Amino acid sequence: MSLLDDIKAVRDLSVPAKLPVFCLSQEFDAKYSDLTYREYISSPQTIIDAQLSVMDAFGWDWAWLHLDDTLEFEALGVGVAEGGENVVPCTAGYLPFDRATLRSLRVPDPRSARMPLLLDAAAGLRSEVGDNKCITGRVAAPFSAVTLIFGMEPAFLAMVDHPDLFTDALAFAEEQAISWGLAQIEAGCHAIWLGDCNASLHLISPDHYRRWALEPCRRVTEAFQEAGGLVFLHNSEETLRGLRLQSETGPDVLSVGPGLEISKAIDALYGKQAIMGNVDPIAMLTDGSASEVAAETGRQVRLMARGGCILNSGECVPREAKRANMHAMADTARQIWEIVGPREE
């Protein structure tokens, strides 16, 4: 089976021949390549070279082209602060959340602003590795996109005080997410990382999630799937109730945040929803020892032998993560899967 066959087996809740092993490691990737983050995102070729380097060194089964949370919103006029050592910070100048501003917005061309950085990196990586790695782009899901365009506090207040305005903002964000995600699939991405962290249940209630976030996210997911792309949904969710709600959007694989015991997620969603997760990027990959990472990785891989799972970090891995720990995660996952995975006939 090919890697994409294995990912599709996971999606279909089966046991893959080889366990896909991912890591949310872009900040670490830049440091590994002796780059500041600003240097890492300075050109498509820099990104391509860095991703090829870490895929070769650690054997990750994907290239995660997240880049930064502001990529698609800078083109709308949202203020963006430049980054140095770290990821470009979230919006430094939100748009006013009013009817006049929303009426003035138009979905930007997907090749506007900094978006070609991602599109050209995706095309270059696809040319280099073909289908041997899962080239994964990124889009903010509509609910989180509204908070990134207009700011968290104004968005949350609008849900209560101006629900019609919030509804229309969601419709705009949905249109843009679909447009920009489809452009990434056309450029060569096999999958889209659909980020909706501001719609996790540590920020909004289940009722608000169902009213505001679920259906727009589902429609974006369906659009990408109809175009042949895989959808990996990430809310950094740490409650079973939240994961169950998010699974109703229909993602191919649902990411589990680092604060939830992975066995509980596997038990709760077994036979219903494919999941990925959730090695802790701080407690394990940054602050832990290589032996601790190996033990935790081995434990998680054994749990995943039931099928329907991908190994991943539960959240973004910082620059300060230890190289030995990253090797321990990648290498242990392969070694343990050789023991607990399906036997070749």
pTM as predicted: 0.96
Please say if the pLDDT value at position 9 is more than 90: yes
How is the beta sheet containing 191-195 ordered, strand by strand? 62-64, 134-140, 191-195, 230-237, 253-256, 275-279, 309-313
If you search the block for the tokens 């908070």, which residue do you land on? Answer: 147
Band (1; pLDDT cuts 50, 70, 90): confident
Please say if the pLDDT value at position 72 is more than 80: yes
Hey, what domains does the chain have and what are their CATH numbers?
3-338 (3.20.20.210)
What average pLDDT does the structure give for the chain? 94
Query: What pLDDT shows up at residue 93?
Result: 86
Please write the tens of the pLDDT for every residue from 119-131: 999 999 999 999 9
| Mean of pLDDT values over 180-198 | 97
Looking only at the bridges linking them, the beta strands covering 253-256 and 230-237 are parallel
Say if residues 310 and 276 touch (Cβ distance below 8 Å).
Answer: yes
Residues 6+ apart with CB under 8 A from 341: 15, 16, 17, 18, 19, 305
Query: What pLDDT shows up at residue 91?
Result: 46
Query: What pLDDT shows up at residue 92?
Result: 57
Please write the tens of the pLDDT for every residue from 310-344: 999 999 999 999 999 999 999 999 999 999 999 87
